[in-house]
Structure 1
Amino acid sequence: MKFNIVIIDDHPIVLLGTKIVLEKNSTYKVTGTFVDFDGLETFLNDNTCDLIITDFSLPNATLDGLNLIERIRRIYSDIPLIVLTSLQNASLVLKSLDYGVSAIVEKSEHINELMNSIKKVIDGEVYISPFFTKKIADVSLNAGADLLSTLSPKETEVIRLLSAGMSPNDVATKLCRSIKTISWTKVSAKRKLKITSDAELYQYAKEIL
């Protein structure tokens, strides 16, 4: 019996490579590959799958980051979700796990880690790869990460996008929010992080996120 998998990633080479590797195991069948959530949603309107694998960051999509994870878990709560990502921030990893992610693997790790994660998920376990296990262990030593944990998912997304060079207008459009909301979210994040200037906020985000 085939185990049907779908993959979301904004890099076609990653989609193709992951599909080829997974299907070397005769048990696995990649039934869909998509560059954004919209493609996944359209597919699952008429089809089913046993597992979703997604990247965390899809900068050109309408949904990415924690918003993407939250949407997938809310709509497809019965389908296990693995995050395969180049994300390296432990606090965001922990937030993803809070949303119900079944496994998380860093893209630079050996492909065996992805295969291990799938096996663990099939067995009903939560799997965190060695890379992220170490990152999470180091979080308690990082005061910045402790402060970061006080931010809401919305605040985290806003400062991450702003620090990546997006304008407030672009962020508002991407997150379907008003510019005023984005501004207030930024102010709230600065207050929680005990930061007074935008420049310091963006530098902090680049180092921590």
Structure 2
Amino acid sequence: MKREYKISIVVADDRPVVLYGLQSWFEEHERFRVTACVRNADQLLARLKAASHDMIVLGCGLEGSYAHDFAFLRELRRTFPATPVIVFTDKTDAHTLSDIQRAGASGLVSPREEARAFERVCERVLSGAEKIVSPRIASYCNAAGAAVSFDTAPDYGGLRPNVTQFIARF
């Protein structure tokens, strides 16, 4: 059975191999649809202004994405506040990761992460959760002993109904 509605995603990174990898991964999942792959900030802004998207995946290789204290990410969040941004980053410094979150990232994922962890971050961010990180990102922060608040728990706001309870409500 094909889903009628798919979660539309725009992926931005200046490295073709990353764009191809992310696009391939998302398209393997029936619920996601990559509507655009862009290689620079200007292309990303043009795509976002032309059509709405459910989520932005911003790669660490996007030109201008990390310059000037994450100014591009801040601008992106200010211009498109309803569209969550997941940053796909190879940064390992706890303070830098915290800065990325303060700049407006809804989720952080390492490119060294397993696919299931990436999917879990996407699910949590799409459900409205903020400051979600993958386990590897959390380990970078824990190893540094940083007093940074990251949410890696798999529960959804304390709600954990089982399938039987969920079906019984309908």
TM exceeding 0.5 = yes
After superposition, where does 1:1-209 map in structure 2 within 5 Å? 1-58=5-62, 61=63, 63-65=64-66, 66-126=70-130, 127-140=132-145
Measure, in 2, the Cα distance between the counterparts of 1:124 and 1:64. 23
Measure, in 2, the Cα distance between the counterparts of 1:109 and 1:75. 29
Residue pair 1:91, 1:139 contacting (<8 A) in 2 also:
no
Where 2:33 maps in the other structure, the secondary structure is: strand
Where 1:70 maps in the other structure, the secondary structure is: helix
Q: Deviations over 1:87-118 (max 9, x none)?
A: 11211110111122111001011122211111
Shift of residue 64, structure 1, vs aligned partner: 2.1
Shift of residue 123, structure 1, vs aligned partner: 1.4
Residue pair 1:82, 1:103 contacting (<8 A) in 2 also:
yes
TM-score for the superposition, normalised by structure 1: 0.62
Measure, in 2, the Cα distance between the counterparts of 1:110 and 1:91. 23
Measure, in 2, the Cα distance between the counterparts of 1:85 and 1:95. 12
TM-score for the superposition, normalised by structure 2: 0.76
Where 2:87 maps in the other structure, the secondary structure is: strand
Residue identity (%) = 24
Q: CA RMSD for the aligned pairs?
A: 1.7
**Where is the helix percentage greater, Structure 1 or Structure 2?**
1
Measure, in 1, the Cα distance between the counterparts of 2:57 and 2:115. 14
**Where do 5+ consecutive residues of structure 2 fail to align?**
148-170
Larger radius of gyration: 1
Residue pair 1:56, 1:68 contacting (<8 A) in 2 also:
no
**Where do 5+ consecutive residues of structure 1 fail to align?**
143-209
Residue pair 1:56, 1:69 contacting (<8 A) in 2 also:
no
Measure, in 2, the Cα distance between the counterparts of 1:110 and 1:129. 9
Measure, in 2, the Cα distance between the counterparts of 1:135 and 1:86. 11
Measure, in 1, the Cα distance between the counterparts of 2:146 and 2:82. 35
Structure 1 segments (4+ residues) deviating >4 Å: none
